[in-house]
């Protein structure tokens, strides 16, 4: 709505209420005349006074119609009503014996109201019309009424009051217009500032939440909606509660309000499985009023770090391939030549076996390190997780020469569980986890459980690998996914590290779930609603 339209509506509303006042005033004159019979009302010509008062009431009632219908322009209607007020009131003054009746005061209110609702325009003109009306009725009475004593002095004083009141109304209206324009300008500046702030917030790479004292999310940007899986607001007055969407974040807010110096670890959001760093900033000095919560997506920072790491790994693997593999091949070839010689010394045979085993181990380490540089080339496919797991179990048991009864499959749901994942990556991740599970389990029936369940939200699927072994000790838990950390003498310590890297390249995560007994690894995959690729081997 434009400014002109807003002001026009204000003018018309003011004119409507001014008409209501005129109608009430005219009705009050008629009612007081009939009930109380004031001595000054119509003492000269009662019949004329009564007729004029009744016509005045009807006229005030009829003038409301064009105001509501907007038949004429605002200034024309206001001027017409003021002139009619002057005519009716001056006629009633004449019928009441002149200016000494006191009815001339009624024009003061009309002139003041006209000056205010017209924003000071034509206020002096209305005062001049009222003064001329009083002078004309006094002059008419002086010339045509017998024994009429004209009171020009009182008329002059009252006219001066009209002009003074009109001037005051003009000054007050001028100041009101200036204040209104200033308020409008300030409102425009605030609206522009709010729009700029909104644009800045929406353009930020971090999620931003504005939470009030009751835990209601008053404002958020697109990144926050994406991280928390918030639905766009359907109503201006719709304010979701933080505790309903992210209870863990609401708990952190309560702790921070009690202790502003509290520090927090990274938070994994259940809706999107994203790690974020939380930061709380009070809107005012009192943190219990309103708080701005910043959610820094660590995946973006990790991606930048990963790019640097991949560049370094690229140079490292190239050097390893040239500097280690060539002499390693020479050592392995020399050991094979020595084995071909006939030797009855058991010591020499044992030493050659040690050389062969260690060259194979070094070659496996080189192969694993070379795989680190392939995590960024994941080719995502739409896989049916149920079909993939069943096929994988058969392949794994055939390759490792174990009974399929070792595995217990627990698949939730009746439909297809479609996930977006690189088929080769998922196969290698599960192979690594199941080989570790087979190494540490009790090797009984159903010692290894593969469980497929729904995640915390509709966008995720949990794939759990559980064994009945001793699990991971607390001492090894912190180093579980670190490279080159292993408890096996023949291991490289890169299996779980590579598995987690491959999960991250497929927008998934690999975590260890601490249980009372047994080892428990969980892969959280992204659900896909697209067409499911049939997994064939």
pLDDT band at 415 (very low <50, low <70, confident <90, very high): low
Q: Find the range with the poorest average confidence among 25-29, 181-185, 222-226.
A: 222-226
Give residue 434's pLDDT. Answer: 92
Is the pLDDT score of 92 beyond 80? yes
Asked whether residue 518 carries a pLDDT value surpassing 60, the answer given is: yes
Instruction: Report the share of the chain in percent with pLDDT over 90.
Output: 6
- Predicted confidence band at 326 (pLDDT cuts at 50, 70, 90)? confident
Where does residue 507 fall: left (phi above 0), alpha (psi -120 to 50 degrees), or beta otherwise? left
Task: Say how many C-beta atoms besides its own lie within 10 A of residue 15's C-beta.
Answer: 23
- Can you list the alpha helix ranges (DSSP code H) found in 263-344? 298-323, 325-340
Q: Distance between CA 226 and CA 90 in Å, rounded?
A: 73
pLDDT band at 521 (very low <50, low <70, confident <90, very high): very high
Q: Which residues pair with 278 in a beta bridge?
A: 295
Contacts of 460 (CB under 8 A, 6+ apart): 273, 454, 524, 525, 526, 527
- Rounded mean pLDDT, 238-251: 83
Lowest mean pLDDT among 14-28, 215-229, 240-254, 405-419: 405-419
- The CA radius of gyration of the chain, in Å to the nearest whole number, is 46
Q: C-alpha angle with apex 27: 26 to 31, nearest 5 degrees?
A: 125
pLDDT digits (tens, 9 = 90+) for 468-502: 888 888 778 777 777 666 666 555 567 788 888 88
* Whole-number pLDDT of residue 177: 76
Which CATH number does 205-300 carry? 3.30.450.20
Identify which has the larger pLDDT, 340 or 112: 112
Using CA atoms, how far apart are residues 414 and 244, in angstroms rounded to an integer? 29
pLDDT(372) > 60: no
Q: Which CATH number fits domain 378-526: 3.40.190.10, 3.30.565.10, 1.10.3720.10, 3.40.50.720?
A: 3.30.565.10
Residue 2 has pLDDT above 50, yes or no: no
pTM of the model: 0.46
- Domain boundaries defined on the chain: 3-184, 205-300, 324-372, 378-526
The predicted structure's pLDDT at residue 6: 43
Residue 58, pLDDT score: 93
Do strands 207-211 and 217-220 pair parallel, antiparallel, or not at all (unpaired)? Answer: antiparallel
């Amino acid at each position: 709505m434009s400014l002109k339209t807003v002001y026009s509506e204000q003018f018309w509303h003011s004119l409507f209420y001014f008409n209501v006042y005129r109608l009430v005033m005219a009705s009050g004159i008629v009612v007081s005349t009939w009930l109380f019979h004031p001595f000054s009302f119509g003492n000269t010509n009662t019949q004329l006074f009564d007729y004029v008062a009744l016509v005045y009431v009807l006229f005030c009632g009829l003038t409301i119609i064009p105001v509501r219908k907007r038949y004429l322009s605002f200034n024309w209607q206001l001027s017409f009503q003021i002139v009619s007020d002057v005519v009716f009131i001056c006629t009633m003054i004449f019928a009441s014996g002149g200016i000494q009746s006191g009815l001339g005061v009624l024009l003061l209110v009309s002139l003041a109201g006209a000056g205010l609702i017209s924003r000071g325009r034509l206020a002096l003109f209305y005062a001049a019309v009222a003064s001329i009306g009083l002078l004309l009725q006094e002059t008419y009475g002086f010339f045509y009424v017998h024994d009429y004593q004209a009171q020009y002095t009182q008329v002059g004083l009252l006219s001066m009051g009209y002009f003074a009141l009109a001037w005051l109304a003009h000054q007050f209206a001028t100041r009101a217009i200036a204040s209104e324009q200033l308020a409008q300008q300030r409102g425009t500046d605030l609206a522009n500032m709010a729009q700029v702030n909104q644009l800045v917030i929406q353009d930020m790479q971090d999620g931003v939440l504005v939470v009030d004292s009751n835990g209601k999310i008053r404002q958020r940007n697109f990144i926050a909606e994406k991280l928390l899986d918030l639905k766009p607001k359907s109503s201006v007055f719709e304010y979701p509660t933080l505790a309903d969407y992210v209870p863990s974040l609401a708990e952190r807010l309560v702790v921070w309000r009690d202790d502003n110096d509290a520090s927090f670890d990274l938070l994994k959001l259940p809706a999107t499985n994203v790690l974020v760093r939380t930061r709380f900033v009070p809107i005012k000095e009192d943190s219990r009023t309103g708080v701005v919560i910043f959610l820094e997506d660590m995946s973006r920072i990790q991606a930048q770090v990963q790019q640097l790491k991949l560049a370094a790994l690229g140079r490292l693997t190239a050097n390893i391939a040239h500097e280690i593999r060539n002499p390693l091949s020479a050592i392995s070839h020399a050991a094979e030549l020595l084995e071909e010689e006939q030797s009855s010394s058991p010591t020499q045979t044992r030493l050659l076996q040690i050389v062969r085993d260690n060259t194979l181990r070094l070659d496996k380490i080189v192969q694993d390190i070379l795989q680190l540089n392939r995590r960024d080339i994941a080719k995502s496919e739409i896989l049916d997780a149920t079909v993939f797991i069943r096929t994988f179990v058969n392949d794994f048991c055939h390759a490792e020469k174990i009974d399929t009864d070792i595995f217990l499959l627990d698949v939730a749901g009746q439909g297809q569980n479609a996930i977006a994942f690189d088929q080769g990556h998922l196969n290698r991740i599960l192979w690594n986890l199941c080989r570790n599970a087979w190494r540490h389990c009790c090797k009984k029936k159903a010692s290894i459980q593969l469980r497929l369940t729904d995640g915390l939200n509709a966008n995720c699927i949990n794939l759990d690998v559980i064994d009945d072994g001793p699990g991971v000790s607390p001492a090894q838990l912190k180093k579980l996914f670190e490279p080159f950390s292993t408890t096996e003498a023949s291991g490289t310590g890169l299996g779980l590290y590579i598995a987690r890297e491959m999960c991250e390249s497929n927008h998934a995560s690999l975590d260890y779930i601490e249980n009372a007994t047994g080892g428990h690894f969980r892969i959280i995959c992204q659900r896909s609603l697209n067409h499911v690729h049939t997994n064939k081997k």
